[in-house]
Amino acid sequence: MRVDSLASSPGAAESGATGSVRPPGFYTLFRTEFILAVRRRSDIVNPLLFFVTVLAMMPLGIGPDPEMLARMAGGLIWVMALLATLLSQESLFRGDYEDGSLEQLALQTQPLYFSVLAKVLVHWLVTGLPLAVLSPLLGMMLNLGEAGYWPLFMSLALGTASLSLIGAVGAALTVALRRPGLLLALIIMPLYVPVLIFGTGAVQAALDGYGYGPQMAILGAILAAAAALAPLAAAGAIRISLEN
Amino acid sequence: MQFQFENFASFLTMNGHGPYVWAAYGVAVMVLVALVVAPLLRQKKLRKEFSRQLRQEEARHRAAAQRKAQSEPAATA
Amino acid sequence: MSWQWFHRLGSPRWFYQKTSGWLPWLGAASLLLLAVGMAWGLGFAPQDSKQGNSYRIIYIHVPAAFLALAGYYIMAICGAVGLIWKMKLSFVVMRAAAPIGAALTFIALFTGAVWGKPTWGAYWVWDARITSMLILFFLYLGVMALSGAFAREQSGDKASALLALVGTVNIPIIYKSVDWWFTLHQPATLKLTQASTIDPSMFYPLITMIAGFYLFYAWVLILHTRSLVLQREWRTQWVRELLEKPAPAARA
């Protein structure tokens, strides 16, 4: 699968012509991943459907009282976004591990860091960002105050990127296991705590009429740190999993 | 320094806080004891397993030696 | 040459033989300190003016919480040493440290909850420290689950070492964020009485218990490591000889 799409990319075609194999750059890899992700439509749609379905269950579980829903909406949406990201993460490296292309990526001269970063970026584009875009709609259904829409979108857009990065470490650690689903949740959930706290904190602050700049700044700082460190850890984890 | 309670009964009840204090100490001591016992049990199991395997090996050796002893006269004959 | 001790330290056999002599001393010292500390804390330390006798739980709660956190760092450092210097023994210590740390975290959680009932009127309060402890507990469980999930032992070693390291980077962030979250949501009625200065008569037994817990941790960590070493080195000559020794009847 990957070999086909790489062959059709300009970088691979050139290297094929000259006879020397040049590793695909960050952009080529990103483009390939993106095209692949868009073609596997269920991978994009399923997390979103999960997100919407579970959130629709919430009022059925806790009752339709608008005031109570309004108080819980921010937290509920955030926790569900967390779960949707986590569940979609399991397949992040799986296909590539099973068909052997993950090994090829690990053998390339280009640092694995950038390959992981490209994959995570694509994962965020097809899950985190759509979740963030959809969130104001769900906020409306759960009676979230209007002041919360924008901070909800912004905090989710920033926060899910961190979630994707952190989750990539877990996905890489468990890729060699047969059924990683619950284990992945167990090892990654505790690491999600700071993002969840500051994400919901931003929404709550906006609803209470305060500025939510500090929370967004902290979410940005977490994202910066995660972008610098998480792909490194994930790259190490991939090498460990490939030894298995 | 002196004992803070008038008698043993008041030591147990601790002005109504007894159940909490004793439950906390009891569970903590139980967990600590389990932490010490667990590796000792594992070693014991390991020893048992090992001696079992050793016996099996010896039985196999003996059987092999017997077979050898039986086949040897046949070879010389 | 000067690194010889370091490499020798990595040898499970050397570790096993060296620690045999330490064990009785460590065990006796830690049990003595724990017994003295418990008796002192339960019976001889004065009653707290605000919390009454329930405060005596502190003599278990605080040392356990100390070591639960320190134990995570010990586990992560051992994992890092194993990853960097490919030291077998280091991974074994890491694996041994995980259940011990989880058990101590459980003690801290349980005693905290029991202490909460007479103090706050509820067993479980989403207090910043208790919540952080709960997350630490999950981190421990994650490391344990991951280390056991691999069929190949070395993969489990490395994977859980990496996870422990990632957790280490996260622990300060988690603590700070939970702290911030608690100040945000703290209901006015649950304001904790500030433990300003602790009286020496209450402090000395606490110090005794903390020292006892540290020694106990070292003792139990060595015990667990030794049994894991035997399990792993099961096929080597020295373990066979060692296991044969106390039962010479089997040889005859």
pLDDT per residue as tens digits for the range A205-226: 998 888 888 899 999 999 999 9
pLDDT, averaged across chain B: 83
Of all residues in chain C, what percent carry a pLDDT higher than 90?
Answer: 41
Tokens 């009785």 label which residue?
A: C24
| Predicted pLDDT at A226 | 94
Q: Quick one: tokens of B40?
A: 């000792």
Residue that the structure tokens 């032992």 belong to: C153
> A243: nearest CA in chain C?
C155
pLDDT at C197: 61
Chain B interface includes C35 (CB < 8 A): no
CA gap A109, A117 in Å, rounded? 16
Chain C residues close to B4, C-beta within 8 Å: 43-47
Least confident of A239-243, B9-13, C156-160: B9-13
Asked if residues C52 and B17 have their Cβ atoms less than 8 Å apart, the reply is yes
Q: What is the pLDDT of residue C238?
A: 82
Provide the residue ranges of all domains of chain B, joining segments of one domain with +: 26-76
CB–CB of A160/A135 below 8 Å? no
Q: Which residue has the tokens 């990595």?
A: C10
> Which residue spans within chain B are E strands per DSSP?
none
pLDDT of C28 reads: 94
Please give the structure tokens belonging to residue B5.
Answer: 């309670």
Percent of chain A with pLDDT over 90: 45
SS3 of residue A130 by DSSP: helix
Q: Mean pLDDT of all residues in chain A?
A: 85
The pLDDT, as a whole number, for residue C152 is 87
Q: For residue C95, give the amino acid letter.
A: R
A242 interfacial to chain C (CB closer than 8 Å):
no
- Best of C58, C62, C225, C227 to mutate (most B CBs within 10 Å, chain B): C227
User: Between A198, A201, A244, which is nearest C150 by CB?
Assistant: A244
In Å, what is the CA distance from C218 to each residue of B31, C32, C74, C106, C213? Answer: 16, 14, 11, 18, 9
The mean per-residue pLDDT over the stretch B42-48 comes to 88
Chain C contact for A197, CB < 8 A? Answer: yes
| Range with the largest mean pLDDT of A112-121, C110-119, C175-184 | A112-121
C181–A176 CB contact, under 8 Å: no
Subunits adjacent to chain A (3 or more Cβ pairs under 8 Å): C
Q: With a cut of 90, say whether residue A191 has pLDDT above it.
A: yes
Query: Residues A168, A155: contact at Cβ < 8 Å?
Result: no
DSSP A42-74: HHHHHHHHHHHHHHHHHHHHH---HHHHHHHHH
For residue A176, the chain C residues in CB contact (below 8 A) are 150, 155
Q: Among A116-125, A164-173, C42-51, whose mean pLDDT is lowest?
A: C42-51
Assign 3-class secondary structure to C84-147. HHCCHHHHHHHHHHHHHHHHHHHHHHHHHHHHHHHHHCCCCCCCHHHHHHHHHHHHHHHHHHHH
Residues constituting chain A:
244
Q: Please give the pLDDT value at position B74.
A: 57
CA distance between the termini of chain A: 23
**The tokens of C30 are what?**
């830690």
Q: Could you give the ipTM of this predicted complex?
A: 0.83
Residue B47 C-alpha from the chain's centroid: 10
Which one of B17, B36, B42 has the shortest CB-CB distance to C118? B17
C167: nearest CA in chain A? Answer: A191
Domain boundaries defined on chain C: 21-44+56-185+199-244
Predicted local distance difference test score (pLDDT) of residue B73 = 63
Look at residue A27 and tell me whether its pLDDT is greater than 70.
Answer: yes
A101 within 8 A of A6, measured Cβ to Cβ? no
Q: Extract the tokens encoding A89.
A: 């993460």
Residue C250: its chain B contacts at CB < 8 A? 51, 54-55
* Minimum CA–CA partner of C154 in chain A: A244
The answer to whether C114 contacts chain B (CB < 8 Å) is yes
Indicate if the pLDDT at residue A16 is higher than 60. Answer: no
A73 Cβ contact partners less than 8 Å away, ≥ 6 residues apart: A139, A142, A143, A144, A148
pLDDT confidence of residue A77? 94
Structure tokens at C120: 């706050």
C145 vs A contacts (CB less than 8 Å): 183, 186-187
Q: CA B39 → CA B35, C225, C227, distances in Å?
A: 7, 8, 6
State chain C's mean pLDDT as an integer: 84
**Residue % of chain C over a pLDDT of 70:** 87
pLDDT class of A117 with cuts at 50, 70, 90: very high
For residue A21, the model assigns a pLDDT of 58
Q: Find chain C residues with C-beta within 8 A of B1's C-beta.
A: 44, 201
Q: Is A72 on the interface with C (CB under 8 A)?
A: no
More confident of the two residues A51 and C9: A51
Chains C and A touch (3+ CB pairs under 8 A): yes
Q: What is the pLDDT of residues C15-64, one digit of tens each?
A: 888 888 889 999 999 999 999 999 888 888 887 777 777 888 889 998 99
pLDDT given at position C186 = 53
What is the pLDDT, as a whole number, of residue C239?
A: 81
- Kindly report the number of other CB atoms within 10 A of residue A236's CB atom: 22
